[in-house]
Chains A and B, each alone.
Chain A
Amino acid sequence: MKNKQVLRGVLAGLTGLALCAVSASAFAAQLRIIQTNFAGDSMHIIDPATNKVVGQITGIEAAHGIAAAPDGSRIYFSEEADNTLSVIDGKTLKVTKKIPLSGNPNLVDITPDGKTLYVAIALTYNDLSEFPRIKAAPSGGVDVIDTASLTKVKTIAMKGGVHDLNVTPDGKYVIVGNARGGRANVLTVVDTKTNDVAWTMPMDPSPSPMAVSKNPDGSTKAIYAQNGRDNGFQVVDFATRKVTNTVKLPDITGNQQNQFGPPAASHGIMVTPDQKTLLVNSRFNSALYAYSLPDLKPLGAVSLGGRGAGWLTITPDGKTAYVANEHTNNVSAVDIKSLKETALIPVGFAPARNTIWMAP
């Protein structure tokens, strides 16, 4: 009897271990990286376990921003070809709805509860009233999308076109960089309770792109803002609303520089989930740099196999970064601890925004 009990206990333990293993395996199997291709007609799905492309979402033109529902049930992306926010069903990977937007859409972000999406609206250059001079139409701001009804519930008008926005980790604010067309040289903060502008602060140039760190209580600590021009970033203390630091990325020799393409020398920035590391792309250097947080000590860099580092995303375990190399149509997988490139993954034309997605 005693032996049977021991055997049952061992079996129960083994079963538990097996279930844990299956569960962990399933979890790992469900995690995916969605890579948009701005100049392409599809999005690539990368399995971070193998760093291979395991699927494509097709029938897309000029996807710009992307966000995944926290439960993985949907993928949302903005499409410049028809100025819509498209909704993809997480199971079928088919577009199920297109939500008309107020103008030319750029980045997209979602609140942590998955209830609200924010879409950056850039200026559209289609005013021919002074032809042959092409002027920007009077538009630009942030569109607010309710994910329950899948409708645009508000447009928050702003000065200058908006390219970048980040929902803060606590979901209370949206940080907006008014940097696309007719630079407004301002950082705007939107209160997500009212969807009105809470405060602004001048920044010249406007932030583009940005990363946001949080305090231990989840509230917003700092904004790390690239600016579309310099090879570096600035730090904005959220509480005092002041620039507290400016960091320039290292210079490299001329023959190593990537001088082609958009003028943004440093583009793509993100904080690791443990809040201990800031990763910063340099498009100019075709490299990824790591800094400790909050003290911003340089931790090292990895020279990427592709050129034109433009965007990045980080796996939830904080171990791997995926950097989109816009000029060479591939994605670098980088081990964050060792700062080594572990894979160079071919994708579509001009890979840009990317995100993690937990497939349902």
Chain B
Amino acid sequence: MHRASFPILAAASLFALASSLTSHVNAAPAPASAAAPGLDYNFFKTRVQPVFLTKRPGHTRCVVCHTQNNAPFHLVQLTAGSTAWNEEQSRQNFQLIQKVAIPGSMDSPIVHHPLAQDAGGDPHHGGGQQFESQNDPAWQTLKAFVMGAK
């Protein structure tokens, strides 16, 4: 796994992160596509969100913790009785994930934080090592999202 190998990438990442944070500070919800160039809303809605809802053997689902706690990555709570987010909630989630998804950067926390350390991820994630390998299809989906897949 190559993370922040090039100064240009690092600078771009910082710029993207700063832009993202600035958009939060200004708190003026813009159309999702304009707020996050490189991150595709439809890919997020149809491919990424299901990753957060999927129960993986041995693990707690992402949605359990990230809808309740105040971790940097937050998801909107599901409507009672619902098993998926509605359109408005999905757009809110898309805005929220930009705190941890830096367009084009493998330094994005959403990519390395839930990945096992042995596979190139962080030493610790409160939600456990959700992905044991970079070959995990769900992790590949997160990577593809960050890298701009449509």
Q: Which of A42, A130, A261 meets B124, CB within 8 Å?
A: A261
Counting CB contacts under 8 A, is B70 at the interface? yes
Q: Which of A104, A132, A260, A308 meets B68, CB within 8 Å?
A: A104
Interface residues of A in 36-67 (CB under 8 A from B): 38-42, 61-62
Report Cα–Cα, A39/B74, bound state, in Å: 17
Q: Which of B60, B67, B123, B129 meets A61, CB within 8 Å?
A: B60
Q: Could you tell me if B76 and A80 are in contact, using CB atoms closer than 8 angstroms?
A: no
Q: Which of A41, A80, A133, A134 meets B65, CB within 8 Å?
A: A80
Q: Could you tell me if A62 and B64 are in contact, using CB atoms closer than 8 angstroms?
A: yes
Interface residues of B in 54-97 (CB under 8 A from A): 55, 57-61, 64-65, 67-70, 74, 76-77, 92, 95-96
Interface residues of chain A, those whose CB is within 8 Å of chain B, are 38-42, 61-62, 80-81, 104, 124-126, 128, 130-134, 136, 181, 260-262, 308, 326-327, 329, 348-350
Q: Could you tell me if B60 and A40 are in contact, using CB atoms closer than 8 angstroms?
A: yes
Contacts of A40 in B (CB 8 A): 58-60, 128
Q: Could you tell me if A39 and B128 are in contact, using CB atoms closer than 8 angstroms?
A: yes
Contacts of B65 in A (CB 8 A): 62, 80
Report Cα–Cα, A133/B28, bound state, in Å: 11
Interface of B, secondary structure class, is loop
Report Cα–Cα, A349/B116, bound state, in Å: 11
Counting CB contacts under 8 A, is B24 at the interface? yes
Counting CB contacts under 8 A, is B122 at the interface? yes
Report A307 CB to chain B, min CB distance, Å.
8
Counting CB contacts under 8 A, is B31 at the interface? no
Report Cα–Cα, A349/B58, bound state, in Å: 7
Counting CB contacts under 8 A, is B1 at the interface? no
Q: Are A133 and B27 CB-contacts (below 8 A) given A62-B65, A104-B68, A308-B124?
A: yes
Contacts of A130 in B (CB 8 A): 27
Interface residues of chain B, those whose CB is within 8 Å of chain A, are 24, 27, 29, 55, 57-61, 64-65, 67-70, 74, 76-77, 92, 95-96, 122-129
Report B43 CB to chain A, min CB distance, Å.
20
Interface centre among A39, A124, A261, A349 (most CB of B within 10 A): A39
Q: Could you tell me if B69 and A62 are in contact, using CB atoms closer than 8 angstroms?
A: no
Q: Are A350 and B126 CB-contacts (below 8 A) given A39-B59, A128-B92?
A: yes
Report Cα–Cα, A42/B128, bound state, in Å: 13
Q: Could you tell me if A125 and B70 are in contact, using CB atoms closer than 8 angstroms?
A: yes
Q: Could you tell me if B61 and A61 are in contact, using CB atoms closer than 8 angstroms?
A: yes
Q: Could you tell me if B64 and A80 are in contact, using CB atoms closer than 8 angstroms?
A: yes
Q: 10 interchain pairs (CB within 8 A)?
A: A39-B125, A40-B128, A61-B61, A61-B64, A80-B65, A125-B70, A126-B67, A134-B74, A348-B58, A349-B128
- In the complex, which residue of chain A has the Cβ closest to the Cβ of B92? A131
Q: Could you tell me if B96 and A261 are in contact, using CB atoms closer than 8 angstroms?
A: no
Q: Which of B29, B70, B96, B124 meets A181, CB within 8 Å?
A: B70
Q: Which of A38, A125, A131 meets B60, CB within 8 Å?
A: A38
Report A214 CB to chain B, min CB distance, Å.
33
Report Cα–Cα, A104/B124, bound state, in Å: 23
Contacts of B68 in A (CB 8 A): 80, 104, 124-126
Contacts of B60 in A (CB 8 A): 38-41, 61-62, 81, 349
Report B22 CB to chain A, min CB distance, Å.
12
Report Cα–Cα, A124/B74, bound state, in Å: 12
Contacts of A348 in B (CB 8 A): 58
Interface centre among A38, A326, A348, A350 (most CB of B within 10 A): A350
- In the complex, which residue of chain A has the Cβ closest to the Cβ of B24? A132
